[in-house]
Each structure stands twice: as C-alpha cells, then as structure tokens.
Amino acid sequence: MAAPPGSPNPYPLLVLVLLVIPATAASPSYSDHCHGLPSAPDVASGGEGSDPTALVHSLQLSTGYFSGGGPRLFGPDPSVLPRSFSFLPSSVLRTTDASLVHVSATLTVSGGRRGTFGGRHLFEYDGQAHRFRPRLPRFVGRRGSITFGVEGYYSSASGELCMVGTGSGRAADGTALNLLPVVLRVHFPNHANLTRPFVTGNLESTDSPSFFEPISLVAYAEEDYAYMESASCPPPPTDRLDALQVFEGTKFSCAHLSSLFKAPFSLDYGNSSEPTASSLGLHQRYMFVNRMRCADDGAVRAYVVFSNQTDASMYYFMLGEKAIVVEGFWDEKRSRLCLKGCHVMNSGPSRADLAVGDCGIGMSFWFPEVWSLQERSFAAGLVWNVSLKSGEGIAASSRAALPYFRGSLSGLKYNYTKVDEARKYYEKYGLNKKRKGKFPDSNSYRDLTFRFFLQKGGGSGYASPVTIGSMLYDGNSLVAPNPFSHVTMELNQGLLNVSYDIHYVGNWSLETFSRQHIAAEGVYDAKTGSLCMVACRVVNISSDCEILVTAQFASLDTKEAQHVKGTIRSLRKKSDPLFFEMLDIASYGMYIDKVDESIWRMDLESTMALISMTLSCVFIAGQLFHVKKVPEALPVMSITMLVVLSLGYMIPLVLNFEALFKNSNKQTVPLSDGGWLEVNEVMVRIITMVTFLLQLRLLQLAWSARSVDRSKDESWAAERKVLWICLPLYIIGGVVTWVVHMRFGHHSRRMLRRVVRVTRVKHAFWEDLVSYGGLILDGFLLPQVILNAYSGSKVKALSLGFYVGSTIIRALPHVYDVFRAKHFVRSLRPSYRYANPHDDLFSLAWDIAIPCGAILLSVLLFFQQRLGGSFFLCSKNSRSSEYEMVSTVSS
C-alpha cells in the first residue's frame, strides 16, 4: 500500500532502524557483566569537586602494554615490545552516588608489528636541515589494531572501573573486524606510589564462544601519585664534579627534563661495579628512562627499563629484560637528578602481570660540563645498591645528539687531548700539501658533515662534527659557548681543532656486518681540505684509541659526484688482537650550496618540461588547423609516423596513470622560489593527456581520409613500403639494445655496487627499451620522409610549425644535457624532470648525433614538400604525384 501524498517516506526510517538494531543488540549489557560495580543515575554538572577536565585526566592512560588476545588478532606475543594500548575518556559525569562516576571512553589496542631499520644504511639525509640524521625505525609486517567505544562506571572508593562496549578494526592477518562486544575491567591504585605504581586491567569478549583470548593490560600510573620520602644522592665521581646547569635562568620544566632522557644510556660494567651488577641482577647493555612524570616542586618519578635491544621506542610503555620504578627529586643547586628505585617483577602467567619487589636501588644523573675524546656523554648516570658499602656503582652514559638539548650551552666546554698527535700524522701522511680550489670553512661548516660508503667489505655511515674549534655543532648550526670566540679567528691561526662522531654499519672481519661508533678528534686545514684525526672505539668494554681517520674534501666548485675520500686505519701492529685492515671511505653527494643549486635545477627542468609539452600540444593543434585548411594533406600523412607519436604520448600516461589522479605517494619537494614540483608534474601529465587526445584525433582524420581517397590502394602500398623499411630498423635497434643491456648493463651495475655499495639498482631491460623508444621518437619524421620518397608527393602534408617545432622540442633536451653536464654537479642518484636518461639516449655522442639527425630529416621534408618527395634520389623515373580534388559533376 502506497503512502498517502504528502506523508513522509517511511523507507529511509526503516533502513535506519534496521542498521541501528544490530549495533544495539551487539552491545553487551552493563548489569550482566559488571555485577560488583552497580550503576547510578547521572546528576547535573556543577558543585565542588565536579571539574570534568580533572576527572578525565585522572583516568587517562596515554600508553600501556597488553598481553594476550591470540595470534590471529595481534600475531605471536613478542618477547620485547611493541604492543601498546591507550585509554582516553571522552566524558566523565557525576552520579547520585558520590563515589561513582559515569565514564565514556575510547580504548585502542595495537600490536603485531616490529621496528627495524630499512635497508643497509642507518642514516638518511635531512634536506631541510641540510644534515644526515639517524634513520628512524621502519615498521614492517601487518599491524593488528582494534578501537573500542566503551561506557561504564568508575568507583573512586575502590579504584575499580568496569565498562562494556563494542569495537572494530583489523586483525594482524588482514581480517576486518566489526562490532566485537567486550567488557573492560581496570583497577586504578588509590594514591599510587613507588610500591603501587601500576594500573592493571583485563579485556574480555562477551561472545560465546569468545572471538579472542582475554587481554591483560598494564600501564604506569599517570595521575594521583603520592611521593614517599626523598631520595639521597652520593657525591659524584671525582672526575665528574662539573655539571651543566640545564635550567640556568629558567624555571624547572618536566617536559624539558624528560626530553633530555630520550636517548638510551649505555651501561659500563667495569671490574669495580661487578658486585653492584650481581646484587641488582643487571647484565643488560642499555638503559631507558621511560614514562617520566614530575610534580611542581621538582619531585620526579619514572619507569626505567634495562635491555640488550637499542631499537626499542621510548614512547611505548616498555617491558624489557629488567625494569625498576624510581622516584626522587631534581637537585637544582648541583644540577643533578637523585632517584631511588624498586625492582619490578612478574607476578603471574602473563607478561602484563607486574608487581614491585625489593627496593634499595640508588640512581643519579647529571650533564657533564666538559667533554673530551673519551667522555662525550650528553647525560651521565650512576646506578648502585644502597646496601653495599663500597660506594661503587654502574656507570651510565647517553650520547644523545645536541639537538635533544634545548637549554643554555654557555657552560659546556670541550677539552682536546689528541690534537698534537694528530698534527704529527697530518704531516707524516702528506696531508699538508697544497691543493687547488676552495674548501669548506667557517662559512660552509655544514659541508663538514658527510655520509660515506666503505669501499671494501660493504657498509655505510656518516660523520658529523661535535666541535669545530671552540664552537659546538648541533647538526645544523654552530653554538658558541663564548660569544667572543669565533671560528674565523681560529682559522687564521692555522690548523683548526675539530672533533667528530662517526657511526656506520661496517665489517671489521669482512665476514659479518656490525654497527660501529668511533669518536675522533684532530685537525682540519681549510686551505687544503684535509682532515686528520685520532679516534677511539669500544671493543668488548675496553677502549681502543690507536685509530687514525683521514679525509680529503673536494673543492667546493668541483663537478665530481665524489666529494670526500678518506681512510680509517689501525695504528697497531698486525699481530695485535685489536688490529684491523684499513677501510677506504668515499662520500658521494653534493655540498650544501650544490644542493640548493640542484633544487633550482629541478625547478628549472620542471618548468621546461611543462613548456615543452604545452608547445607540443600547440603544434598538434596547429597541424589540425592545417589539415582543415589543406584537405589533400590528410591522405599523404604517414600513418606510421602518427602511430609512433601517439605511442610516445600514451606510454608515459600509462606508466603514470595512478600518479595522475593520486600523487600522495610522491614526496613533495619545496623549491627555493616557494613553488612545488608536484604541481608542475601534475600539470605536465594533464597536458600530456590533452596532447595525446589531439594526436589521436589527427590519426583518426588521416586514417579516415586514406580510407575514402580514390587513390587509397597506391597510398596504402606506399605505407606498406614504409613499414617494410621502418619495422626492421626498429626491431634491429631493439635487438642491439638487448645485446648492450646483457653485455654491459649488468657488468657496470656490479662495478657500481662494488665501488659504493649502494642499495641494489633495479634496472630492467624494459627501462633500456623505453630509452630506445625515445630514439625512435627523435626520428619521428623518418616514416614521413620515406613515404614522400616512394609517392613522389610534394603536397604540404605537415605544417612548417608542426615538424620544425616538434624537431626543436626533440632536440632541445640533448642540447640541455650538454649544458647540464658542464654546469651542474652530478649526484649519485640524481632526480631529473627534463632530459631524463630513462626517457631517451643521452651521452656526448648521442647529444650530437640525435639533434643533427632530427634536423637533417626536417630539412629533407622541407625540400620534399617543395621539390617533390624523390628529389634527392636523382632518378629520371621519379615522378611527382599530387593528390587533386576531382569534381564529381558530369558535363
């Protein structure tokens, strides 16, 4: 029965009801699953102690760890990291029961992925900061993640929270999950303290049978914490009396203090600290200060993890091999952090079942004011057992980069100890010989940072200055501890004292790769571009300082891709166990000003590509007007030529079809003038599509005119002769391309990998074939010239603007390639927007031969359309056959 006129349509409402009913039915009942925590009606907001913001923050858990759920949802439970959950309340309302609050929240559980360094290189270039930085972990594998919307009640008397709701997301195996009914129970400790610092809970499915295994939750309490008695700090070691005032002139800030502890600490288990390590049960190599929280009066607490892994993220609540909870205070007078701690133990079958055990651990941290070759700890620390009377402890040091530091550096000093020794080697190895050119100095100090490759055995890394003269280098700029000290003044006095940190993935035994770090200091000569340093590395806890690092920088105006060449060698005898074979290092890249020049070049090439394609579109449009004005031109246009041109526009569109409509996968590169390369690239693709459509229209018109022309048999016969000549030429060229690819391509790539050890270059045969296709396009007039020669026609089949303009467009990239080779520095992996070697054949020989060949074809066509197609054959039998318009009117 139809609805009466003017009445609302009931069907949309019916659909809405059908959609809502299953969702409502899927949500479990609170009273059925939270028996021990009754509900209560809400009351209007207001009154004492009803601040909703404070209530929301008191229940918030920004990150925690979970265990369980089953391998289907989150993969196998990892032994270390990185499963996490977050609990974020959206609303908290008071109820008629003063001890109960009504809570709505979002719970997200995520897991099933691990962080790993992508590729073999640990470092990447930061184009905006003009420096190399450690490559962040790249997460690989599937990631299970489910978000639940839950609602329930929290009791402030018992600290219990019970909530029900449903969730949706995606499992680790890729399965989509919808409307999973769950019950969440969480226990918040009433006034958490050092012995009760954890929030625990569990998440269970209410389905029968259960869709997933129960999940155990644990997090470090974020609010409502009661500090106990203050910690005590023993005096620091005698060689570490000076501490940098990190809050000098500023108020204590927990966020600032927490940022200073982001990097992991390396633990030094010397002989004197063995009793401490044994009594504390510590044997791990690294320590992470995690989840730091502070009070306004300077009280500090944290969760400290000990692990043998270095890729564990400090942003998660971590479960390592060993953990302790600590609390204490920031000693403003001595600029130290004093803490006491307790062991964290596993109290149940799940890894999330944590409890606090024995206490009696002392910890202190400070920031050394004086750095040297063997002591460059940004933050230093000590861990000890308060029950031992020896006073010895486990030394901890963090070599975080200066960018982590945001305070005053006015008190930080560097003490050079190996400069005199480095000067001797500087002269011994002839690094003081004069070299032509201008080299990096105080005006181009950022060029002293470089990434390098190991030329023997493989590996890569980067070298970055720590100090240049009396200046500190923070990765992007120089920071002067003394404002009256200038690097320029020091340069005028001769050799410049420098210190470096060098990190790389190398191979001392040439059998297995390992991560290496060496600290170096020595001298740099800006007049010769020579660097000579004595370096130290740690081998099995002991220090090896018999290492020499030398490097020579290329001139700033060099046109070579390699701009640093050097060595890392051992000064020990070959019989010494710490001796290693000399490592040759090479850096391929560009100086900072050359990077800016390269960006300008990319901008220029992007604009040239846009102009070139626009002109191609205009020339084809001009040819369309020409054939409309001269109808007899259509039957004598070479179909082969038009097909070649159509394919030349179609193939780039096919290869970039997805990028034409979605360009989010490509990195946006800001240009020096504020424009965007991405915009130009999209415009080029759009104009290419328009040009392709116009070219297809021209092909369709020529085909139609050839089909209806009275002399079509003769014209098709001439076209077949063109194919008989052009196709074998094209095929022979393709075979030659394949032979060259097989003979020289793999060999050259092996040589490239042997020299610089870059990531494997994916260079397939079809890429060489595309370059050969560019050569065919360069000779696009060849089929038309052959057709004219066979037909003897002197009809103006092509307009002057079309074939001359198109010839210039095809020749200009080769002219520009010659200019580019002379005026721009080549990089190891250049990015081309115009005259791309993947689109055509480019070399000095090709850059001369191709334009000359294209111009020759254009000249031949010019005379053919005036003297006849076969004028250059000098044949008596050559005839001029012109297509004439024949009247169909009978006399």
Amino acid (one-letter) located at 355? A
| 399 plus 504 within the same structural domain | no
Mean pLDDT confidence for 171-176: 79
| 390 plus 434 within the same structural domain | no
Give pLDDT, residue 391: 60
Give pLDDT, residue 203: 93
Does a structural domain hold residue 176? yes
Residue 321's pLDDT band (cuts 50, 70, 90): confident
| 625 plus 572 within the same structural domain | no
| 609 plus 584 within the same structural domain | no
Residue 300's pLDDT band (cuts 50, 70, 90): very high
Does a structural domain hold residue 117? yes
Q: Which of 66-75, 129-138, 214-223, 236-245 has the lowest mean pLDDT?
A: 129-138
Q: Helix (H, G, I), strand (E, B), or coil: what is residue 31?
A: helix
Q: Which residues share a beta bridge with 382?
A: 364, 395
Does a structural domain hold residue 228? no
Residue 129's pLDDT band (cuts 50, 70, 90): very low
Does a structural domain hold residue 882? no
| 362 plus 326 within the same structural domain | yes
| 115 plus 246 within the same structural domain | no
Q: Which residues contact 264 (CB under 8 A, 6 or more apart)?
A: 286, 287, 288, 310, 312, 314, 398
Mean pLDDT confidence for 437-451: 80
What values do phi and psi take at 72, rounded to 5?
-65, -40
Q: Which of 589, 617, 650 is the last residue of a domain?
A: 589
Give pLDDT, residue 342: 92
Give pLDDT, residue 235: 65
Q: Is the dihedral of CA 786, 787, 790, 792 positive or negative?
A: negative
| 195 plus 243 within the same structural domain | no
Q: Which of 300-304, 850-854, 873-877 has the lowest mean pLDDT?
A: 873-877
Alpha-carbon gap, residue 849 to 420, rounded angstroms: 58
Does a structural domain hold residue 317? yes
- Mean pLDDT for the chain? 77
Higher pLDDT residue, 222 or 115? 222
In this model, does residue 186 exceed pLDDT 90?
A: yes
User: Contact at 8 Å (CB) between 73 and 122?
Assistant: no
Give the pLDDT confidence of 262-294 residue by residue, as tens digits: 888 888 887 767 777 888 888 888 888 888 999
**What is the β-pairing status of strands 413-414 and 370-371?**
parallel
Q: Which of 220, 249, 279 is the last residue of a domain?
A: 220
User: Contact at 8 Å (CB) between 324 and 385?
Assistant: no
Angle between helices 712-740 and 782-791 (to 10 degrees): 140
Q: Which of 44-53, 463-472, 556-565 has the highest mean pLDDT?
A: 463-472
Q: How many domains does the chain have?
A: 4
In this model, does residue 463 exceed pLDDT 70?
A: yes
Mean pLDDT confidence for 536-554: 86
Give pLDDT, residue 682: 79
Give the single-character DSSP code of 273: G
In this model, does residue 755 exceed pLDDT 50?
A: no
Enclosing H/E stretch for 379: strand 379-385
Does a structural domain hold residue 776? yes
In this model, does residue 80 exceed pLDDT 80?
A: no
Mean pLDDT confidence for 671-693: 72
Give pLDDT, residue 452: 87
In this model, does residue 507 exceed pLDDT 50?
A: yes
User: Contact at 8 Å (CB) between 380 and 365?
Assistant: yes
Q: What percent of the chain has pLDDT over 70?
A: 74
| 625 plus 769 within the same structural domain | yes
Give pLDDT, residue 57: 82
Give pLDDT, residue 879: 45
In this model, does residue 65 exceed pLDDT 50?
A: yes
Q: What percent of the chain has pLDDT over 90?
A: 24
Mean pLDDT confidence for 848-855: 92
Enclosing H/E stretch for 323: strand 322-331
Does a structural domain hold residue 225? no
Amino acid (one-letter) located at 295? A
Enclosing H/E stretch for 495: none
Give the pLDDT confidence of 554-568 residue by residue, as tens digits: 887 776 777 889 999
Higher pLDDT residue, 440 or 201? 201
Q: Which of 126-130, 333-337, 523-527 has the highest mean pLDDT?
A: 523-527
| 830 plus 712 within the same structural domain | yes
| 167 plus 282 within the same structural domain | no
Higher pLDDT residue, 423 or 28? 423
CA 238 to chain centre: 43
In this model, does residue 9 exceed pLDDT 50?
A: no
Q: Which of 140-144, 520-524, 582-586, 704-708 has the lowest mean pLDDT?
A: 140-144
Domain encompassing residue 362 = 238-404
Residue 44's pLDDT band (cuts 50, 70, 90): confident
Does a structural domain hold residue 160? yes
Higher pLDDT residue, 349 or 102? 102
Which of 215, 146, 207 minimizes the C-alpha distance to 185? 215
| 715 plus 779 within the same structural domain | yes
Residue 187's pLDDT band (cuts 50, 70, 90): very high
Q: Which of 555, 589, 623 is the last residue of a domain?
A: 589
Higher pLDDT residue, 843 or 313? 843
Give pLDDT, residue 624: 94
- Please state whether 581 falls in left (phi above 0), alpha (psi between -120 and 50) or beta: beta
Mean pLDDT confidence for 200-212: 86
ω into residue 82 within 30 of 0, thus cis? Answer: yes
In this model, does residue 762 exceed pLDDT 50?
A: no
Amino acid (one-letter) located at 443? N
In this model, does residue 161 exceed pLDDT 60?
A: yes
In this model, does residue 579 exceed pLDDT 50?
A: yes
Give the pLDDT confidence of 621-667 residue by residue, as tens digits: 999 999 999 888 888 899 999 999 999 888 888 776 544 444 433 33
Give pLDDT, residue 302: 93
Higher pLDDT residue, 488 or 703? 703
Give pLDDT, residue 52: 62
Give pLDDT, residue 108: 92
Give pLDDT, residue 709: 59
Q: How far apart are the first and last CA of the chain?
A: 76
Give pLDDT, residue 127: 39
Give the pLDDT confidence of 368-397 residue by residue, as tens digits: 888 888 888 888 888 988 887 656 778 888
In this model, does residue 612 exceed pLDDT 60?
A: yes
In this model, does residue 354 exceed pLDDT 70?
A: yes
Residue 886's pLDDT band (cuts 50, 70, 90): very low
| 548 plus 646 within the same structural domain | no
- pTM given for the model: 0.65
Mean pLDDT confidence for 818-843: 76
CATH of the domain at 363: 2.40.128
In this model, does residue 595 exceed pLDDT 90?
A: no
